[in-house]
Structure 1
């Protein structure tokens, strides 16, 4: 092919395709060669200064001794130093005192956001909106109370409310009556409810857990708090177990909540995040972390 080069005198290799496509032998532009050798020099310099060549399980360390883990550790030390002034103050304060201090409250909310995302968001959703089957934390409906003290108890010690399964206790007619009554109470936010339903609610001992007003308060305290065993508030227009309605209420009445050996029972357990006897007293979260979460949950908007 080179003998029949149609472009004699041109600085090409003699390789020609499609009549006029050929490979030239011109040198690369000077700027390109300079950039090439500069990149080689950079690579050599990088290999000397930073970790580079794998030797066994570890790379060469480089004359600077730099590593990502070292940089990470230095960053953590810097953040810890900045946080120290706030953390020292928080250690001696209650959740209510933190909430009363705008600066410390802002710091605590920012700090607890990560804690909530790592430990609580999977069940309670972003912003406490509540994932399906789990309580909403951003409303004013609290099974055990929404004061900082009650929230502290719920997080540290966990919760496991119980409702008896009434499948073998109530007749089908009575179950339907109570389920319809629960729907009426929900639709009217406690202002309604048939006389038959109220009579059955009281005669079957439901007031022992749900309270005389069916609001989940066993005892109302003078300070505005209340004593509760975790029974649902039936007079607030909010369903604990979605989607709510007659069939949902009937299911809960029949099979209860957290009942052993009862197929169909509702599962509703809040884990223990403080010292847990079942784990030899080991806690998932420390006291200060729990305190921050108490402030964070309280400030969702539903805290009392």
Structure 2
């Protein structure tokens, strides 16, 4: 093929296609060759200085690789960065340790720091149930509104996080007749929609003891102390449009009346339990007292703190 080269004197390989397409044998540009050899030298230097090559013949203990002359590892880099962050945070954390949640809220700078740092705590320990923004996942309370079962003051929020909550409501399937269950379910819906409720429904509500938990006015308030503290046992406010158990409405109210909340041995009972996040006796808690304090501030500022 080379002896029949139609392009004599050209630096080609003698391979031709379609008469004039041919393969040239020109060398790469000098800058390209320099970059090529520099990259090879860089790879060699990198493998000498940094951890690089796995050594599968060593025991599978996570240490089977070349360490590099610099001894650099991602863990060391992480620990260095973490130490820098902790050094910056130490000043704020020391101040918070000697303050109450109410005092933190009086300091705008510490409040902003607390909200920023507690967002991670909320994401780790609370968002699975209450949503990333406190909007409440299905079946769990919303923390971003002004509706509270046990109270939305800083003290009450701290108490809730510390000790947890476990509501209780008697299952009335074997206590009330079908007509009484229907009357009370419709009564609850009527109150939630702004209605006043019929005298017959109020009489049944009081006769069956619903007022013992939901209050004389159905708003979940048993008493209000002179200092403004609301006394409640965690029963829902029946006079607003917020439903503890979705989707709400007649069927939801009827289900709760029939099967109650957290009733042992009742298969269809509502499950409403929040775990405790503090140390109880010899049991190791998940959060320190300072972390609970900071979370209380965070939840209080979500939009519904009292």
Alignment partners' CA distance in 1, 2:229 and 2:143: 17
Return 153-162 or 222-231, whichever deviates more. 222-231
- The answer to whether the aligner puts 1:194 opposite 2:198 as a matched pair is yes
Structure 1 residue 117 corresponds to structure 2 residue 123:
yes
SS in 1 for 2:22: strand
How far off is 1:80 after superposition?
0.4
Q: Which runs of 5+ in 2 are unaligned?
A: none
Deviates more, 1:242-251 or 1:53-62: 53-62
Q: Which deviates more from structure 2 when the two are superposed, residues 154-163 or residues 15-24?
A: 15-24
- Number of residue pairs the alignment of both structures matches: 300
1:31 matched residue in structure 2? 31
Q: Which residue of 2 is the match for residue 221 of structure 1?
A: 225
Structure 2 partner of 1:295: 297
Question: After superposition, what is the alpha-carbon deviation per residue over 1:235-272, rounded to whole angstroms, capped at 9, x for unaligned?
Answer: 12211111111111111101111111212211111111
Deviates more, 1:172-181 or 1:63-72: 63-72
Measure how far apart 1:219 and its partner are: 2.6
The worse-fitting range, judged by mean Cα deviation, of 254-263 and 105-114 is 254-263
Partner of 1:96: 102
User: What is the 5 A alignment of 1:120-131?
Assistant: 120-131=126-137
Q: Could you list the per-position Cα deviations for residues 142-197 of structure 1 after superposition, in whole angstroms to 9, with x for gaps in the alignment?
A: 10001111101111111110111101100011001001110110000xx5111111
Are 2:4 and 1:8 aligned?
no
Alignment of 1:15-164 (within 5 A): 15-55=15-55, 56=58, 57-164=63-170
Out of 276, 279, 299, the residue aligned to residue 272 of structure 1 is 276
Return 57-66 or 289-298, whichever deviates more.
57-66
Q: Deviation of residue 281 (structure 1)?
A: 1.0
Q: Distance in 2 between matches of 1:196 and 1:137?
A: 35
Q: Which of 281, 284, 302 is equivalent to 2:283? A: 281
CA distance in structure 2 between the partners assigned to 1:7 and 1:206 by the alignment: 104
SS of the aligned residue for 1:59 comes to coil
User: What SS does the corresponding residue of 1:301 show, helix, strand or coil?
Assistant: helix
TM normalised by structure 2 equals 0.94
Secondary structure in structure 1 of the residue aligned to 2:202: helix
Kindly provide the CA deviation profile for residues 258-290 of structure 1, in whole angstroms up to 9, marking residues without a partner as x: 11121221111111111246xx51111111111
**What is the CA–CA distance in structure 2 between the aligned matches of 1:5 and 1:174, rounded to whole Å?**
105
CA distance in 2, matches of 1:119, 1:21: 68
What TM-score comes out, normalization by structure 1 length?
A: 0.94
- 2:240 alignment counterpart: 236
- Tell me if structure 2 keeps the 8 A contact 1:220–1:227: yes
- Whole-Å separation in 2 of the counterparts to 1:195 and 1:163: 24
Cα RMSD (Å) = 1.5
Q: What is the CA–CA distance in structure 1 between the aligned matches of 2:64 and 2:90, rounded to whole Å?
A: 35
In the alignment, which residue of structure 2 is the partner of 1:248? 252
Question: Is the Cα contact below 8 Å between 1:184 and 1:194 reproduced in 2?
Answer: no
Residue of structure 1 equivalent to 2:216:
212
SS of 1:299 mapped into structure 2? helix
Q: Distance in 2 between matches of 1:53 and 1:172?
A: 74
Matching residue of 1:261: 265
Distance 1:3 1:268 in 2: 91
Cα distance in structure 1, aligned partners of 2:19 and 2:211: 98
